[in-house]
Chain A
């Protein structure tokens, strides 16, 4: 515990004690703000390089260092200085404020995701439901933003995005229910702890598949790309954004990608468990990168699905599979077919 400074000479040790305290390090450095910005910028570069190699191109090449690794910084600097064009009769406070809210809500759930046994900002007992609640705020904000840019393409794209995300949130969380049943807790640290013998991707494989598909639909990635369909709706719900607004929305999308990938790692891939020759957070980030790669690759490979078929499939097929999966997990756990897993 620290002593509050009573004399002016006490301030420096007080500041040093605060800065080196575990809370401060988790809040600001890892897994806090600095790590988050670095990894999200890395993800933007990583996606462009990966897609380029799949499409037999090269991708970012010139922006400093090997392979254009400073490209995200160059993009950020360029976009900050560009002009923000607000469409005619658009709602200005909403147009400028909602991207900020999007990136805020995309980064907020990182407070509960554990990167290691003690590397979590806030060890919350209702952690998984907290992420669920924050994730359910996204569709409404996208709808408001699309409405606020007084233009046809964004409005149609925003409506499609709302219905698509709403359709795939329910199967996503009902399939996460199987993990909760296996681990017996909503606390993310305890969920990862329960995977020390076997990762939940084994017993809950069907849940993993449903969750993964639903995640790709939530993140609006190809083949579920129709809200931001490039040849169709120009850029979907963020057509009218330019300059810093676009940069913030772009960051919010990649923040969501990182969030969902780390959530899949926590729920299904055993979090930080791995052979001890590497520290725990490194395993976590490696597994998250594998998941992010698996989400990025279909963008360069598959064709786009039509949005009404998408929504229909989400509600009819995927939801039924998720509900049946709940029954399957109940049967599996209660009849003790999973012995020796420490369950």
Chain B
């Protein structure tokens, strides 16, 4: 039966959910449910936790997130090109290489700004 591969993926996903769902939903019913102040304290190697837990955000890697976004898009376009690379004329491939090359200078400048920790 030559089913649509996406349908098979959906069926596989449903099978996974059915068979891995009980792995976490059943133990929720088995485990003790009364909340206890001492057991539910966040773990800090024995100290009493103080201060808010989510306070300190590391901002020094934020430019890498922006670069990830841009290069994710670039990567997807390159995959589209790479598929048909051997069948298209050389001029078109040079165009895509120009596309990549035009992003080289901003990449360099972005890396320079990202490495300079004073900016963040």
Contacts and interface: CB of A to CB of B under 8 A. Distances in A.
Direct contact of A and B (CB under 8 A): yes
A7 interface: no
A170 B72 contact: yes
A14 interface: no
Contacts of B11: 27
Contacts of A73: none
15 contacts: A33-B16, A83-B31, A83-B32, A84-B31, A88-B40, A111-B8, A111-B13, A151-B42, A167-B64, A177-B82, A181-B86, A239-B43, A244-B27, A244-B31, A319-B107
Contacts of A100: 20-21, 23-24
Interface residues of B, number: 66
Nearest to A34: B19
Interface string B71-90: 11001101100111111001
A174 B77 CA distance: 11
A28 B27 contact: no
| Interface residues of A, dominant DSSP | helix
Interface string A1-18: 100000000000000000
Interface in A53-83: 80-83
A184 B115 contact: no
Interface of B: 1, 3, 5-6, 8-9, 11-13, 15-17, 19-21, 23-24, 26-28, 30-32, 35, 37, 39-45, 49, 51, 53-54, 56-58, 60-61, 64-65, 67-68, 71-72, 75-76, 78-79, 82-87, 90, 93, 97, 100, 104, 107, 111, 114-115
Nearest to A180: B82
- Report which residue of A130, A159, A166 has the largest number of chain B beta carbons within 10 angstroms of its beta carbon: A166
A88 B41 contact: yes
Contacts of B65: 163, 166
B44 A245 contact: no
A30 interface: no
B15 A33 contact: yes
B27 to A, nearest CB: 4
- The 10 A-B residue pairs with the shortest CB-CB distance in the complex, in nearest-first order: A151-B42, A244-B27, A122-B5, A122-B8, A180-B82, A163-B61, A83-B31, A111-B12, A181-B82, A124-B5
B9 A104 contact: no
Contacts of B15: 27-28, 32-33
Interface string A129-144: 1101000100000000
B81 to A, nearest CB: 9
A117 interface: no
A87 interface: yes
B2 to A, nearest CB: 9
B42 A1 contact: no
A103 B49 CA distance: 31
B44 A152 contact: yes
A334 B20 contact: no
Nearest to A184: B86
Nearest to B23: A248
A315 B65 CA distance: 11
A107 B45 contact: no
